[in-house]
């Protein structure tokens, strides 16, 4: 069954910047009791994008919207005291922008939103305004030799 994707959702892991993908997945499974991952993609500090859930499967990103969403997250989003903070590295920003563009081409009718932009969400995730960032972000253009 093909999913009807209406949203491309940007998240932060709301973890320290040194968190690992395995640690995050273990938290979902053992602490929260989830059978599905929270995201489809996680962006590491060095800009590496890990696909942890196939797009054809549902991830647990935003309650009530998961069947129609693709979820991506960057590792980070809080400071050492747990206060929301946009602490993306330049590499994470570039990878996030590129992934959003790639997904937008695959799902041209999908709306790009931050987790906090959905109704009844009471968290700061992804710790920045996604629409404002996209409006102002200038990607690095790689020159091919």
* DSSP string for 92-141: HHHHHHHHHHHHHHHSTTPEEEEGGGSTT--S-TTSS-HHHHHHH--PPP
Q: In whole angstroms, what is the distance from residue 36 CA to residue 89 CA?
A: 27
Residue 125 is among the residues annotated as catalytic for this protein: yes
Residue 12 is among the residues annotated as catalytic for this protein: no
pTM of the model: 0.93
Catalytic annotation, pick one of 29, 123, 131, 137: 123
Residues 93-130 have pLDDT tens digits of 999 999 999 999 999 999 999 999 999 999 999 999 99
Q: Is the dihedral of CA 124, 128, 132, 134 positive or negative?
A: negative
Catalytic annotation, pick one of 41, 74, 107, 125: 125
Catalytic annotation, pick one of 71, 93, 113, 115: 115
Q: Which fold has domain 7-136?
A: Lysozyme-like (3.40.80)
For the chain, the structural domain boundaries read: 7-136
**Which residue's entry shows tokens 């998240």?**
11
Query: How many Å from the N-terminal Cα to the C-terminal Cα in the chain?
Result: 42
82 near 60, Cβ under 8 Å? no
Residue 36 is among the residues annotated as catalytic for this protein: no
Residues 28-49 have pLDDT tens digits of 999 999 999 999 999 999 999 9
Catalytic annotation, pick one of 11, 71, 93, 113: 11
Q: In whole angstroms, what is the distance from residue 26 CA to residue 18 CA?
A: 15
Closest CA to 87 of 19, 9, 6, 39: 19
Q: What is the pLDDT of residue 145?
A: 53
């Amino acid at each position: 069954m093909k999913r009807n994707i209406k949203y491309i959702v940007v998240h932060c892991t709301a973890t320290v910047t040194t968190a690992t993908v395995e640690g995050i997945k273990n938290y979902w499974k053992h602490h929260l009791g989830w059978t599905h991952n929270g995201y489809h993609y996680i962006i590491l500090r060095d800009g590496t994008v890990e696909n942890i859930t196939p797009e054809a499967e549902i991830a647990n990103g935003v309650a009530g919207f998961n069947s129609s969403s693709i979820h991506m997250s960057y590792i980070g989003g809080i400071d050492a005291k747990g206060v929301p903070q946009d602490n993306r590295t330049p590499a994470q920003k570039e990878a996030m922008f590129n992934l959003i563009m790639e997904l937008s081409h695959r799902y041209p009718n999908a709306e790009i939103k931050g987790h906090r932009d959905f109704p009844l969400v009471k968290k700061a995730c992804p710790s920045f305004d996604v629409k404002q960032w996209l409006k102002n972000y200038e990607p690095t253009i790689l020159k091919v030799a």
